Chains A and B, each alone.
Chain A
Amino acid sequence: EDQVTQSPEALRLQEGESSSLNCSYTVSGLRGLFWYRQDPGKGPEFLFTLYSAGEEKEKERLKATLTKKESFLHITAPKPEDSATYLCAVQARRWGKFQFGAGTQVVVTP
């Protein structure tokens, strides 16, 4: 059965304290792995798509990487405005739907 598991569930960081979020997945034939950011009371906002193992994408203080079993979202020197829930989703080749993980809630304190 296809699964997406994110860890940790919650992460509290001091401003400037770098860390990584994990997204482990089991899916037959990955079409793409997606990262989203969700602020309270808002819809998820697209960050990155990764298609193959070894691929990396960067945006400001965020960097996403992909292996055959997991993806990491690295947050370098985070700022309070990086506080949000980060969601990972996978899409398999055989079906069009996205399967989401439960998310990691990140709080960055000044």
Chain B
Amino acid sequence: DTAVSQTPKYLVTQMGNDKSIKCEQNLGHDTMYWYKQDSKKFLKIMFSYNNKELIINETVPNRFSPKSPDKAHLNLHINSLELGDSAVYFCASSQDETGELFFGEGSRLTVL
């Protein structure tokens, strides 16, 4: 009965490949997010969806494309991976745009 689950937990891939990370929440929340945590532990917002609609799109390369098939799912697809994409990616959800965030356990992406 995990609240926010994301898969896979670990991803190791070569530069230039395409990869996806999936996220699901069973909290009934309306808003979902993707955050990137770099080696210095800063958490930076990438995208936010409210009821399947994109509401926040930070300055992220267009190689990153989020998709929300329904309000319980938010996936992240990354094309043409680069070394600098190596990080931990966290999915999160909140009741609405003002509420506290509930995070998944993270997906550690390593690009070789």
Contacts and interface: CB of A to CB of B under 8 A. Distances in A.
Interface of A: 31-32, 34, 36, 41-46, 49, 85, 87, 89, 91, 95-98, 100, 102-103
Contacts of A34: 100-101
Interface in B70-104: 90, 92, 97-98, 100-104
Given A97-B48, A97-B56, A103-B41, A46 B100 contact: yes
B106 interface: yes
Contact of B43 (A31, A42, A44): A44
Contacts of A31: 98
B4 interface: yes
Contacts of B56: 95-97
Nearest to A42: B105
Given A43-B4, A43-B103, A43-B106, A96 B48 contact: yes
B8 to A, nearest CB: 14
B77 to A, nearest CB: 21
Interface residues of B, number: 22
Contacts of B97: 96
A54 to B, nearest CB: 20
Contacts of A41: 105-106
Interface in B1-30: 4
B112 interface: no
Nearest to A49: B100
Contacts of A102: 40-42
Contact of A43 (B40, B44, B100, B104): B104
B45 interface: yes
Given A42-B105, A97-B58, 14 more contacts: A34-B100, A43-B4, A43-B106, A44-B90, A44-B101, A45-B103, A49-B100, A87-B43, A96-B56, A97-B48, A100-B42, A100-B43, A102-B41, A103-B41
